[in-house]
Amino acid sequence: MYLLRLAWASLLNRRFTALLTLCSIALSVALLLAVERVRVEARASFAGTVSGTDLVVGARSGSVNLLLYSVFRIGNATNNIRWESFQHYAQHPQVRWAIPLSLGDSHRGYRVLGTSEAYFEHYRYGQNQALELAEGRAFAEDPFEVVLGSEVAKSLNYRLDQSLVLAHGVATISLVQHEDKPFRVVGILKPTGTPVDRTLHVPLSGIEAMHIDWQGGMPSAAQRISADQARQLALTPKAITAFLLGLNSKIATFAVQRDINQYSGEPLLAILPGVALQELWGLMSTAEQALFLISLCVVFVGLLGMLTVILASLNERRREMAILRSVGARPWHIAGLLMFESLALAALGILAGCSLVSLGIWLAQDAVQAHYGLYLPLAWPSTYELILLGTVLSAAWLMGLIPAWRAYRQSLADGLSIHS
């Protein structure tokens, strides 16, 4: 016990270099933890975005592409699919529910999703959680009603009954607005931590009504149709972007998938979301591993810095060791002092690194969620993170053996004489 106090006092005596060493270890550990935390949470939030959906169906393209634009609202559809195709499969005997998805419009940078009431009823996220309304109701008969994702409502400060105008296309700054057909906010969803939060939900009929007087991708100048006139028209869509299917039994999944992929009406692609997610991980894992490796290297550099500092201090501490030897300290006492020093520096560095990450998450939580849609929880380290930290500590311990061994040899050779 006294040895620990002695090592601590000696370390405090060199507090400036010790503090610098500690900082470099803390920063490297914080980087390692942050990379790991973001990686895990990104996966969790991706995996939690779609739950309970058996098949995602869209125009024939790549499965990852389809998953990205239909579920994550990233990128654009290569092609639309016909309404008849959707109806065909919505009535398929194996299909329990079907959610149509129509994308392509936006509102101040947020995507607009045209869908049906089935969306609020059957869409699941996270651990099979249903969407819940924080305020108001889901859209109903009127085509010009909109239900906001929580983040849309929060960041744009929208309330119930407010009216808003949607823009054509998905660019943040859109030149073409659907000014003649404003939508009324009827509901605001509770936060989900998924892209749903950043989406405006309107009925398919609303999408159809907005574009009813459009020709060739532009509003037709000759024939304007007002919102009220549009309400009177048949607003059945001709095409949608994709649809989600829930089946009666999981066993039927592959049969239905094959059936859709071989549909004779038009080329369709059906994917299992889990499989497509795995493909996505496959794409991302290289980058993830590279990032992880880099942060491991940074930790290694931090520990190497510690080793350098301790080794450099050995020479100037020969007197300290000779004094300790003269009062009867054994060489292993001296080695123990050095071991304790590297362990203390590493342990404190790890603690500081953990605090730094927590502080960083606490400060950046909202910004990260707003900009990247990634929810970083302020949590205790996971088992895996603890294993990582344990590994760092063990590495520090192993590295500490080097100065300890040198000090051992040195104190054996020097004895009570002081070479300086």
Residues engaged in binding other proteins (CB under 8 A): 2, 6, 9-10, 12-13, 319-320, 322-331, 333, 415-419
CB of 38 to other proteins, least distance (A): 42
Rounded least distance, CB 20 to other proteins, Å: 18
CB of 339 to other proteins, least distance (A): 18
- Residues 124 and 40: their CA atoms lie apart, in Å, by 21
Closer to other proteins by CB, 238 or 409: give it. 409
Question: With respect to other proteins, which residue has the nearer C-beta, 5 or 250?
Answer: 5
- Residue 137 vs 319, nearer CB to other proteins: 319
Q: How many Å apart are CA 306 and CA 25, to the nearest integer? A: 8
- Least gap, CB of 335 to other proteins (angstroms): 13
Q: Which residue has the tokens 């880099």?
A: 294
- Residue 19 beta carbon to other proteins: minimum distance, rounded to whole angstroms: 15
Distance set, CA 78 to CA 22, 54, 62, 289 (Å): 52, 22, 10, 31
Q: How far is the CB of 12 from other proteins (least distance, A)?
A: 7
58 with 100: CB under 8 angstroms? no
Q: 297 or 418, CB closer to other proteins?
A: 418
- Nearer to other proteins among residue 340 and residue 375 (C-beta): 340
282 burial type by CB count under 10 A (0-12 exposed, 13-18 middle, 19+ buried): exposed
- What's the one-letter identity of residue 139? F
Q: How far is the CB of 326 from other proteins (least distance, A)?
A: 4
Name the residue nearer to other proteins (CB basis): 238 or 419. 419
CA atoms within 13 A on the CB side of 399: 25
Q: How far apart are CA 417 and CA 420, in angstroms?
A: 10
145-148 and 183-189 beta bridge pairing: parallel
Closer CB to other proteins, 135 or 320, in the complex: 320
Closest CA to 310 of 269, 338, 271, 343: 338
Is residue 199 within 8 Å of residue 151, measured between CB atoms?
Answer: no
